Amino acid sequence: MGMISRKLTSVAVAAALGGVAGGAVAGGFAIGTQSGSGTGNAFAGGAAAADDASVAWFNPALMTLLPGKQVAGALNIVKPSFKFSNSASTGAFASPPASSSDGGDGGDWAYIPSAFFTMAINPSLSIGFAINAPFGLKTEYDTPWRGQLTAIKSEVKSINFNPSVAYKVSDTFSIGAGVSFQRLEADLTNSAGGAGISTLTADDDGWGYNLGVMFQASPNTRIGAQYRSSIKYTLEGSVSFSVATPGNGAIKADLEVPDSFSLSLFHSTGNWEFMGDVTWTGWSSLQQLAVIRTTTAATLGPTLPGAAGATLTTLQFQWDDSWRYSVGANYKLSPQTKLRFGVALDQTPSNDATRTARLPDQDRTWVAFGVQWKPSKAGILDFGYAHEFIKNANINNTITGVPGAFVGTFDNKADIFAIQYSHSF
């Protein structure tokens, strides 16, 4: 296999495990859409608003505000768009393959379900459960394209199971805690030149926890906060090549998804409800990623050793912690209908120096609105829409041993459609 194929294959192996989600609805590869009712407010006030059973995810302390039993099921439909424009690519990236484009639209439809349950055991004690997907999404570029040596298809999927408990300490103060069991899967393909198509799959399970508090400052004002721990994975899987099959083998990589802290405010007056939120995410934990062979395979070159225990590559991320700021409002149009509004500023953890086509993330501005309708005393329907205005993402990738650079800009945006049904018993 040629030098270009060896180098780019090395990069692809690491990228598949590190950050390939495409990050369509939150900074990094997190998924910010974790309910249907919150979408219309751009998820402002998530740790203080107590609309429905989705509080089991956003802040379990709020479960003490929900009477009886409550269930909620939501579906967020997301359409991101990632369109590359070449500006100054050189060397191996200067001339795309015959009959190719610049990859078309790398975004794809994603369907993100979630479900929640809460139950008041007694006036002071409540329990809950959340099932959702905190990380993931998918990018896929038309082939052949200029960047196919670095990315064709990238997909990350996760599922999280989160039981929780809450205790009402006093009439104005509640605490909550939960445990998360989370599964993460990654799948990536790219052209590896003479080695054919490179495919990498890896997965693992991990455990985490969350803590929440709620303070009722006045009958109309509430403050809430939640901390979610990081989760550590030892991702295990395989790398394979459609032509250079002797290089196939097993790999592993240690990955830690970040912790986060949210502080939220909720205030109601007359027919209006106002909310705000500040969320910090500890993406600085993701600085680099080492991919290691766990079985012996053929050595494909000096940068891709075949010995078990050898490091295939180390991918540099050098990400920073990120902040998200949001404000929102609700207006009660009638006893059955509530209108929702929200805006948010969502900071990317990535940077121009290490950003790749697998994750063309940049800062986002959310504009959202929604409507809640109560078809019955026990049932609630929520509809929401949000548009993400995403800054253009610059790409300037060079690879040791490969001539030239992959240089250009991604024009990005995302649309989110949400529906949720809640029912109380």
How many Å is the maximal CA-CA distance in the chain? Answer: 71
Lowest mean pLDDT among 9-18, 29-38, 198-207: 9-18
Q: In this predicted structure, what is the pLDDT of residue 197?
A: 85
β-bridge mates for residue 33, sequence order: none
Tally of residues, the chain: 425
- With DSSP H G I counted as helix, E B as strand and the rest as coil, what are the percentages for the chain, rounded to 5? 10, 55, 35
CA 226 to chain centre: 18
Concatenating the DSSP letter of every residue in 267-326 gives EEETTEEEEEEEEEE-GGG-SEEEEEESS-----BTTB--STT-EEEEEE-----EEEEE
State how far the Cα of 261 lies from the Cα of 400, in Å rounded to an integer. Answer: 38
- Of residues 330, 212, 327, the one with CA closest to residue 262: 212
Q: In this predicted structure, what is the pLDDT of residue 10?
A: 38
Which amino acid type is present at position 95?
S
Angle at 177 between CA 176 and CA 181, to 5 degrees: 150
Backbone angles phi, psi at 263, to 5 degrees: -125, 125
Mean per-residue pLDDT, 228-256:
91
Q: Do the Cβ atoms of 393 and 411 come closer than 8 Å? A: no
Residue-wise pLDDT tens digits, 261-286 = 999 999 999 999 999 999 999 999 98
Q: Which residue has the higher pLDDT, 251 or 373?
A: 373
- Confidence grade of residue 14 (pLDDT, cut at 50, 70, 90): very low
CA distances (Å), origin 27, targets 24, 136, 255:
8, 11, 17
- State which H helix or E strand residue 14 sits in: helix 3-18
State how far the Cα of 141 lies from the Cα of 415, in Å rounded to an integer. Answer: 19
Q: Is 13's pLDDT higher than 80?
A: no
Which amino acid type is present at position 139?
T
CA distances (Å), origin 298, targets 195, 245, 295:
13, 9, 10
State how far the Cα of 354 lies from the Cα of 315, in Å rounded to an integer. Answer: 9
- Of residues 201, 93, 99, 221, the one with CA closest to residue 154: 201
Mean per-residue pLDDT, 96-109:
79
Residue-wise pLDDT tens digits, 66-93 = 999 999 999 999 999 999 999 988 888 8
Residue-wise pLDDT tens digits, 285-344 = 989 878 888 888 777 665 566 787 887 767 778 999 999 999 999 999 999 999 999 999
Q: In this predicted structure, what is the pLDDT of residue 4?
A: 36
State how far the Cα of 29 lies from the Cα of 156, in Å rounded to an integer. Answer: 9
Q: Is 94's pLDDT higher than 70?
A: yes
Average pLDDT for the chain: 88
Tokens coding 352: 């121009």
Q: In this predicted structure, what is the pLDDT of residue 28?
A: 86
Number of other residues whose CB lies within 10 A of the CB of residue 418 = 24
- What single-letter DSSP state applies at residue 259? P
State how far the Cα of 95 lies from the Cα of 83, in Å rounded to an integer. Answer: 18
Residue-wise pLDDT tens digits, 351-370 = 998 888 888 999 999 999 99
Q: In this predicted structure, what is the pLDDT of residue 1?
A: 37
Pairing of strands 364-373, 337-346: antiparallel
Lowest mean pLDDT among 7-21, 25-39, 262-276, 344-358: 7-21
Q: In this predicted structure, what is the pLDDT of residue 93?
A: 85
Which amino acid type is present at position 364?
R
Tokens coding 23: 């990050």
- Of residues 275, 190, 213, 143, the one with CA closest to residue 12: 190
What is the value of pTM for the model shown?
Answer: 0.90
State how far the Cα of 302 lies from the Cα of 105, in Å rounded to an integer. Answer: 35
Q: In this predicted structure, what is the pLDDT of residue 24?
A: 46
- Confidence grade of residue 2 (pLDDT, cut at 50, 70, 90): very low
Residue-wise pLDDT tens digits, 139-154 = 999 988 888 877 889 8
Q: In this predicted structure, what is the pLDDT of residue 315?
A: 74
